[in-house]
Structure 1
Amino acid sequence: MILGSLVALVTPMNSDGSVDWAALKQLVEWHVAEGTHGIVAVGTTGESATLDVDEHLEVVRVVIEVAAGRLAVIAGTGANSTREAIELTQAAANLGADAVLLVTPYYNKPTQEGLYQHYKAIAEAVQIPQILYNVPGRTGVDMLNATVARLAGTPNIVGIKDATGDLVRGQELIGLVGDRMAVYSGDDATAIELILLGGKGNISVTANVAPGVMANACEAALAGHAERARELTESVAQLHQILFIESNPIPVKWALAEMGRMGLGIRLPLTVLSADAQPRVRAALSASGVL
């Protein structure tokens, strides 16, 4: 089981929108040095929606190569086509990913039965640990806890990223499936509390800019040291909010550029962080001690 702080890694890009491979490699090395426990490569924060298949898989390959077994690599392979999700998942398995993250099919809004059949088909088709991902605020579809419970125990399905931010619902989910699959937070603001309730880690946007703090906070929470975990996450609490001032990953990519970790490249239809928002993100970075 993969535990701890799992960064939802951005995909660095040049000003023309091409992938900045040198910056990507440097980010992976930084996360290794900072103690991040795992990297999600080309998840939704990694702009999976705008990378073509060849680029997508090359990013996964490079991250695996640079990580070299020093931390877990989870490949984002979700799609709103079950067939495409199976193909991407198989490709990630062939590349040597430790696991995959499968966002719920977006836009086509499947029923709960459709979600069940979608994930069951992927699990049956590809032999690799698979983490479900529910983020209704971005996809337009909400996978209910009852549906997750139906999938729990399915071979190859090992976890779920719950990005609802609803701790009552998260606690219920852990009670339903926690003995059969890992429950990860997908909401930085509530992640530590979910871990203290029995969650196994945090798939994090904030970890892109504060990897050491997030890794230490997750470790403390997993060890049951609630006061220490809350103290650590409080130090970056402003980031949990401000990094969503505009659509993710717009603010976090700008923040990393401000920190000198990469350039400002981002792909349309996303655009560089607006001038009005930049001072607020800069102030949060400074207040959190990462700038």
Structure 2
Amino acid sequence: MNDFIVPIVTPFTSDNTIDKAKLRRHADYLFKNGVDQLLLAGSTGLGPSISTNEKISLLEEFEDLPDKVILQVGGLDIEESKSLAMAAKKHNIAAIAALPPYYYPRVPEEWYSRYFREISEIYPTLAYNFPLTTGYNIFPPLIKKVNREGGNIIGIKETLPDLAHMLNFKWEFSPSFKVYCGPDPLIYPSIKAGMDGVVAGSGNYAPSLVNAIISDMDNNGMKSQKTLSTLTSVVQKYGQWAANYSMIRILLKYDAGMPRSPMYALSTEQENALEKEVTALLNAKQ
């Protein structure tokens, strides 16, 4: 069985505070529509803009469903990351995820391994590989070194358009090590190749379409993947980090809040244009 994880959007209000009611409503909808777990404060959730206290409040919002959530704790302050790992341990959630330290170039490899070890020795961790945003690409030898020295990296979320890179982790580690596909266009080929599941941002607004790929690989999975890939390419034109919120209104017909600036919400005109494109696309696929 393949895991379907959604990096849930974080609903914000017009004054940039988190709207907990809209967060929970959206989460409940996703759980009812085939989503197994949520990644809190990930890239799609605008995690880098969320404070430590806010991240802890997200954990508290799901204290009744600890096995359903994963918290992204990585950042540039190791003490904050460790504090969040301890909070995750206290709430007994499924796992934590951690981006490598970002922004700074020419960081020694040893610093990355030490960083991941210090976090993962506190709580089971998914390495979060997103080299486009972090400037660093995680490879199997780093994870092996971390675990050999006392860390506990239990899997990886691969957010890069490189299926061969994902396969390296499947080949280099035991079956218990989870390898998750991040890019929406690679869901079908990654599952076909043996990955353990997906962490799909498009699951926020098209969970049924993602499920159609995962659950029907031998029949209509490729067709569903083509539709999803075309859909996400349209969303990206409008700035996906904000357009995700608009897509929830367009396809799911409810409000999941707005992004936090400087990821600026689409204007009414932009959202209407997006809706027109999406409607035309989906009607053409029927």
TM-score scaled to structure 2, two decimals?
0.87
How many Å separate the matches in 2 of 1:284 and 1:178?
44
1:237 aligns with 2:229: yes
Q: Identify the residue that residue 133 of structure 1 maps to in structure 2.
A: 128
How many Å separate the matches in 2 of 1:226 and 1:101?
31
* Residue number among 186, 200, 203 corresponding to 2:199 in the alignment: 203
Using the TM superposition, name which of 181-190 and 155-164 deviates more. 155-164
**Contact kept in structure 1, 2:182 and 2:198, CA below 8 Å:** yes
CA shift digits 1:169-188 (9 cap, x unpaired): 22223212253511101111
The runs of at least 4 aligned residues of structure 1 exceeding 6 Å deviation read: none
Using the TM superposition, name which of 100-109 and 275-284 deviates more. 275-284
Alignment map for 1:70-85 (pairs within 5 Å): 72-85=68-81
1:23 aligns with 2:22: yes
How many Å separate the matches in 2 of 1:56 and 1:15?
19
1:111 aligns with 2:104: no
Q: What percentage of aligned pairs have identical amino acids?
A: 20
TM-score scaled to structure 1, two decimals?
0.85
Alignment map for 1:21-170 (pairs within 5 Å): 21-65=20-64, 68=65, 72-109=68-105, 110-124=107-121, 126=122, 128-151=123-146, 156-170=152-166
**Contact kept in structure 2, 1:57 and 1:91, CA below 8 Å:** yes
Question: Shift of residue 148 of structure 1?
Answer: 3.3
Amino acid at match of 2:141: A
CA shift digits 1:215-272 (9 cap, x unpaired): 342244xxxx344322332332222323333544211122223344325522222111
Higher helix fraction: Structure 1 or Structure 2? Answer: 2
Query: Runs of 5+ in structure 1 lacking a partner?
Result: none
Root mean square deviation, CA, Å:
2.5
Relative to structure 1, the CA distance from residue 132 to residue 8 in structure 2 (aligned partners, 3 Å threshold; closer, same or farther) is same
**Contact kept in structure 2, 1:4 and 1:215, CA below 8 Å:** no
Query: Runs of 5+ in structure 2 lacking a partner?
Result: none
How many Å separate the matches in 1 of 2:266 and 2:138?
31
**Contact kept in structure 2, 1:242 and 1:280, CA below 8 Å:** no
**Contact kept in structure 2, 1:254 and 1:273, CA below 8 Å:** yes
